[in-house]
């Protein structure tokens, strides 16, 4: 139901209203909200507004009849005190928002730097394999140190990249998530590094396959499928060009498409697959579901858990869900107050209350509010597929088609 314009004198507790003001022009946390007290009604009047938009379908009560009841008078001192407190709270939230945006920018710089390193070493792996493996080891060891030094990891959603860089994005994404999962498994630094190396180079064999096959979106022909299935073997031949590639990571490169139930291309089963390979194969499948199969993160996790549990290590799958939360970054959600937003970060200590970028047409997109649900008393009501969003909401939230993650490397 559309909103209706009413006089502020007709407002009562339980009405859901939208203020005709910019977000920074009032002390309320949102420009649209449900009125909870007479004090809030008095504050709306104090803003000098004569009319607001009321949404009957979101309200708990109808507006008062015209001219039926005199406005409730709240002492000016109480109004002023509450308004000052609300304004201070809002300014503190704006300051935290600015700090958060700064943290995301720093995280994105670190991500882009790592991506640049991946692009560089992938270009060297055939001509100068020793240099490539050495650079990769330095990158992975640095990420390992950051992971182990971090206390409560914050996982951020990164910006999209060029379609031509998908191999690099995929390789880095699988590496970072695999290493984070390895940390969740309480593995030591050496094993986390081995996981990172195997994950970083798991698809390196695709460099030996024609790009038109690797990037093909239509179903592959049988000969094309057979050729693509060889990329694990091709990858092993590439990492074998130097003795410095860790032996423990070679199984990841060769067998990352094998499943525990034997349904992979080589028919290997659980007893034939080492734990590190089982870990990376799960992350690889999750990333492929999100991108090659265009599933939203929530659906990708749900699919792995409900339909394919027998193909993956159940302990790793449970830990992955705990790592990413029920609402992984990249999920479009509807909150308990009806607002729509994009999950852009999760914190390990509060997975049910992620940070959400809110859709609010009254706020410029570049200044969109980002709220930590644990601090505002809101919850997530449901997940929405991006294709079901109205065009204006889709353009504003800009949900990613290439979902990449990186963690905040702040030390303990």
Q: What is the mean pLDDT of the chain?
A: 87
Indicate the number of domains in the chain: 3
The answer on 175 and 132 residing in a single domain is yes
pLDDT of residue 271: 94
The answer on 227 and 138 residing in a single domain is yes
The answer to whether the CB of 141 falls within 8 A of the CB of 117 is no
On the question of pLDDT at 136 being above 60, the answer is: yes
- 32 vs 401: which has the higher pLDDT: 32
Within a domain: 70: no
pLDDT of residue 12: 92
Q: Three-class SS string for the chain? A: CCCEEEEHHHCCCCCEEECCCCHHHCCCCCCEEECCCHHHHHHHHHCCCCEEEECHHHCCCCCCCCCCCCCCCCCHHHHHHHHHHHHHHHHHHHHHHHHHHHHHHHHHHHHHHHHHHHHHHHHHCCCCHHHHHHHHHHHHHHHHHHHHHECCCEEEEECCCCHHHHHHHHHHHHHHHHHHHHHHCCCCHHHHHHHHHHHHCCCHHHHHCCHHHHCCCCCCCHHHHHHHCCHHHHHHHHHCCCCCCCHHHHHHHHHCCCCCECCCCCCCEHHHCCHHHHHHHHHHHHHHHHHCCCCCHHHHHHHHHHHCHHHCCHHHHHHHHHHHCCCCCCCEEEECCCCEEEEEEEECCCCCCCEEEECCCCCCHHHCCEEEHHHHCCCEEEEECHHHCCHHHHHHHCCCCCCEEEECCCEC
pLDDT of residue 400: 76
On the question of pLDDT at 193 being above 80, the answer is: yes
On the question of pLDDT at 143 being above 90, the answer is: yes
Tell which of 267, 295, 323 closes a domain: 323
The boundaries of the domain holding residue 47 are: 4-65+75-91
Average pLDDT over every residue of 366-378: 83
The answer on 87 and 43 residing in a single domain is yes
Least confident segment among 30-39, 98-107, 139-148, 320-329: 98-107
The answer on 140 and 82 residing in a single domain is no
pLDDT of residue 275: 97
CATH classification of the domain holding 244: 1.10.3210.10
pLDDT of residue 76: 57
Least confident segment among 129-133, 149-153, 195-199: 149-153
pLDDT of residue 49: 87
Q: 254-278 pLDDT, tens per residue?
A: 999 999 999 998 999 999 999 999 9
Within a domain: 200: yes
Which pair of tokens denotes residue 331? 């999920």
The answer on 81 and 157 residing in a single domain is no
The answer to whether the CB of 254 falls within 8 A of the CB of 272 is no
The answer to whether the CB of 404 falls within 8 A of the CB of 172 is yes
Tell which of 266, 298, 323 closes a domain: 323
Within a domain: 412: no
The answer to whether the CB of 387 falls within 8 A of the CB of 151 is no
pLDDT level of residue 1 (50, 70, 90 thresholds): low
On the question of pLDDT at 315 being above 60, the answer is: yes
Average pLDDT over every residue of 360-376: 81
On the question of pLDDT at 21 being above 80, the answer is: yes
Average pLDDT over every residue of 125-151: 91
pLDDT of residue 26: 85
How far from each other are the two terminal CA atoms of the chain, in whole angstroms? Answer: 49
pLDDT of residue 162: 64
The answer on 257 and 169 residing in a single domain is yes
pLDDT of residue 296: 85
pLDDT of residue 343: 92
The answer on 267 and 118 residing in a single domain is yes
Burial grade of 239 (CB within 10 A; 0-12, 13-18, 19 or more)? buried
Within a domain: 403: yes
Which pair of tokens denotes residue 107? 């995280």
Average pLDDT over every residue of 177-196: 96
Q: 69-99 pLDDT, tens per residue?
A: 555 555 555 556 666 777 777 777 777 777 8
The answer on 352 and 304 residing in a single domain is no
pTM above 0.85, yes or no: no
- 136 vs 292: which has the higher pLDDT: 136
The closest of 371, 321, 301 to 342, measured between CA atoms, is 371
Tell which of 91, 126, 153 closes a domain: 91
| Cβ-count burial 242-258 (b if 16+ within 10 Å, e if not) | eeebbebbbbbbbbbbb
The answer on 228 and 129 residing in a single domain is yes
The answer on 131 and 8 residing in a single domain is no
Within a domain: 274: yes
The answer on 281 and 201 residing in a single domain is yes
Within a domain: 106: no
On the question of pLDDT at 146 being above 70, the answer is: yes
The closest of 316, 374, 310, 383 to 348, measured between CA atoms, is 374
Average pLDDT over every residue of 361-386: 85
CA distance 239 to 245: 6
pLDDT level of residue 411 (50, 70, 90 thresholds): low
pLDDT of residue 277: 97
Within a domain: 97: no
Average pLDDT over every residue of 125-132: 89
CA distance 84 to 107: 34
The answer on 224 and 115 residing in a single domain is yes
Within a domain: 105: no
On the question of pLDDT at 34 being above 80, the answer is: yes
């Amino acid at each position: 139901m559309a909103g209706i314009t009413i006089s502020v004198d007709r407002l009562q507790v339980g009405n859901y209203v939208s203020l005709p003001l910019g977000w920074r022009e009032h002390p309320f946390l949102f420009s649209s909200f449900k009125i909870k007290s007479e004090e809030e009604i008095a504050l709306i009047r104090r803003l000098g507004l004569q009319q607001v938009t009321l949404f009957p379908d979101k309200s708990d009560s109808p507006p008062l009849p015209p001219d039926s009841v005199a406005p409730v008078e709240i002492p000016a001192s109480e109004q002023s005190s509450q308004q000052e407190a609300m304004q201070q709270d809002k300014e503190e939230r704006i300051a935290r928002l600015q700090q958060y945006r700064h943290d995301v920018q720093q995280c994105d710089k670190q991500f882009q730097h790592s991506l640049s390193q991946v692009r560089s070493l992938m270009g060297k792996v055939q001509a100068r394999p020793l240099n490539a493996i050495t650079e990769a080891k330095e990158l992975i060891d640095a990420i390992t140190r950051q992971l182990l030094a971090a206390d409560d990891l914050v996982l951020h959603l990164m910006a999209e990249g060029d379609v031509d860089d998908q191999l690099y994005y995929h390789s880095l994404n699988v590496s970072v998530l695999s290493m984070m999962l390895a940390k969740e498994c309480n593995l030591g630094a050496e094993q986390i590094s081995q996981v990172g190396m195997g994950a970083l180079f798991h698809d390196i064999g695709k460099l030996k396959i024609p790009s038109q096959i690797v990037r093909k979106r239509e179903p592959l022909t049988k000969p094309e499928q057979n050729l693509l299935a060889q990329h694990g073997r091709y990858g092993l031949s590439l990492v074998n060009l130097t003795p410095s590639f860790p032996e423990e990571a070679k199984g990841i490169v060769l067998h990352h498409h094998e499943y525990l139930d034997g349904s992979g291309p080589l028919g290997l089963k659980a007893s034939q697959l080492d734990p590190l390979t089982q870990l990376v194969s799960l992350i690889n499948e999750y990333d492929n579901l999100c991108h090659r199969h265009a599933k939203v993160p929530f659906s990708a996790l749900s699919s792995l858990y409900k339909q394919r549990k027998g193909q993956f290590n159940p302990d790793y799958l449970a830990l992955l869900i705990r790592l990413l939360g029920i609402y992984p970054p990249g999920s479009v959600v509807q909150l308990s107050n009806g607002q729509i937003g994009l999950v852009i970060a999760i914190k390990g200590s509060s997975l049910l209350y992620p940070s959400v970028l809110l859709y609010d047409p009254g706020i410029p997109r570049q200044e969109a509010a980002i709220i930590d649900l644990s601090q505002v008393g809101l919850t997530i009501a449901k997940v929405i597929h991006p294709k079901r969003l109205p065009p204006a909401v889709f353009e504003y939230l800009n949900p990613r088609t290439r979902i990449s993650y990186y963690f905040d490397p702040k030390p303990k």
